[in-house]
Structure 1
Amino acid sequence: MILYEAYNLDASNPYTMFDVHDLIWELHFHRAYECVFVCSGEICCRIEHETYHAKPGMLLFVMPNQLHSLTTSGTSHCYILRFSPELIGHFHNSYLDRIPRDSCFAFRSSEDIINFYLSQKAKPQNIYVLKALLYKICGELVEHTDFLYRRNSSKDLLIYSLLDYIHKHYTDKCSLRTAAEDCCCDYYYASKTFIKYTGISFVDYVNNLRVQKACYLIKNTNDTCMDISLNCGFTSLRSFNRNFLKYCRCTPSEYAHANHA
C-alpha cells in the first residue's frame, strides 16, 4: 500500500527525527527529504524501481516525492531524519529535477547523526547545527554517486494524482470514478493502474487509510468512536467497525483499551 504523506514542514517546524526499531513502512511519498541511518540489523528499502539492502553504518537518501518503502527482516534499529527542502536550499535547487543513481552509501560521519539525535531530545538545536549535518550528508552523497534526470512515466503521474486526490477527499465520499474524472482519466484504466502499483483496489486503499487515521485519533484524542468514524469518512459505525477489524485485527474499543492502558 502506498501512503501519501503531506508533512507540514515549514520555517517553524523544518524537520522531524525518529528513533525506530524493527522498521516497517509501506510504500509512500512526501514533499520532504528523508535520510535513514541504520544502526543495527538490515533494512530493505525500495526507492521507486530500485531496491537497497542497508546494513549498519549505511545511509539511505530519499528525494522529495520519490515512492519508497522500508522493511525489516528480523530486527533493526535506525534513525530517520525528515526535513524541509528549504533547509538545504542550494542542494535542492541544484538537483531539483534529478535523483541519485545510487541512494545508499556508507556514511563516514555516523556519530554526528547519533549525537544530533541525543542532543535535540534534550533541547531544540540551533538551526545552523542541523544545516551543517544535512550539508555533510549531501556532500558525501554527491561524492558517492552521480545524478540522473528524473523521468516520470504517465502512469507514475497518474498514481501521484490519484493519491493526492485520496489525501484531499478521504474524509468525504471518495470514489475511484470521481477521482478518475478529477484526473481526466478513463475509469477502467485508472482502476487497473492503481491495482498494479498498490497491490490493492482503490476502495481497500481508501478504507485502509481511513482506519490508520482513526487509529491516530483513538490514540491521541478522547473523541467517541462515532465521531472518529465520521471524521475519517465512514458513513456508519457499522462500516467503521467492520473495516477496523479487517485491517487491525481488533475492534476500535479493544484498540483504545490497549493504547490508553
Structure 2
Amino acid sequence: MTKKYQAPIVKKAFLILDAISKNTQGLKISEISSSLNISKSTVHGITAALEDQGAVIRDALSKRYTIGITLMELGKAAYERLDFKHIARPIMEELMEQCQESVFLGIRNGDRVTVIDIVESRKDFKITSPIGTSLPLLAGAIGKLFLSRMEAKALQKYLNANPLIKFTAHTIIDPIKYISELEKVRKNGFATDDEEYISGVRAVVAPVKGYGAYIPAIWVVGFKASMSQKKIPSIIEQTLAAAKKISEKLSDIKG
C-alpha cells in the first residue's frame, strides 16, 4: 500500500484559515493558538506567510487577523465554477435528449482540459467519463477549439514545444494541416472530431462565452455508428444553440 504524503504545516494553515474565517471580529495569534492547540510561534510563522500571500489581513491596531482578498477571490472563483455547472446542467440535459449522445462540460486547465460535468446518453452503449477527468489539450475537437483561440505566435510557440500526438490513424499530425484546421474552427465557431482522438468515436464542441477567467466548452461525443455524417450538421446546430443558451444565462446573471 502506498503511504500518503503528510504535510502537517499545510493542514495547520487550513485550520488557521478556517478559524479566522468563522470569526467576524478576527482573531489574535494568542486566540488562534489556544483554540487550535498550536504553539504561538507556529501560528505566528504561518499567519505571516499567509499575510504575505494576501490570504489574511492583520489589523495594525487590534492585532487581529481577518480573511484577505486573495482568499475571497479564490472562494469567488470556486463558487462561480459550481454556479456555472448549475446553470449549464438543464441545457446539457436538453441537448442530450435532442441528439441522444453524451454531453460534456469542461474547462481548459493549462495544458489539459478538465471535465466538470457530464450528462450521459440513455443508450446502453455510450461514451462516458468520470467528472474530473483530465484530457490532453491536443485531444480531438476539444483541443482544436481551445487552441484556435490562441494568437498565431503563441500557437506556433505552443506547437513547437508540444508536438502533435498521433492518437489514431485519423489524427492530424502535420502542423501546417493542423493550423489550417484551427483556422476553420476559428471561422466557424465550433470544432469536430472524426475518430481523431479515439477510433470509432466522433465529437462536436462549441465554446461558452463570457465566463471570466475560465474558458468553458460544451461537447457531444458518440460512436461513429450513431453519430453518422447525416446527423452531424444537426448536432452541430444543437450544440451551438446550447452553448449560446448557457452564455446568455451567464450574461443575464452578471448583467
TM bucket (normalised to shorter chain) is under 0.3
TM-score by length of 1: 0.23
TM-score by length of 2: 0.23
Between structure 1 and structure 2, the one with the greater Rg is 2
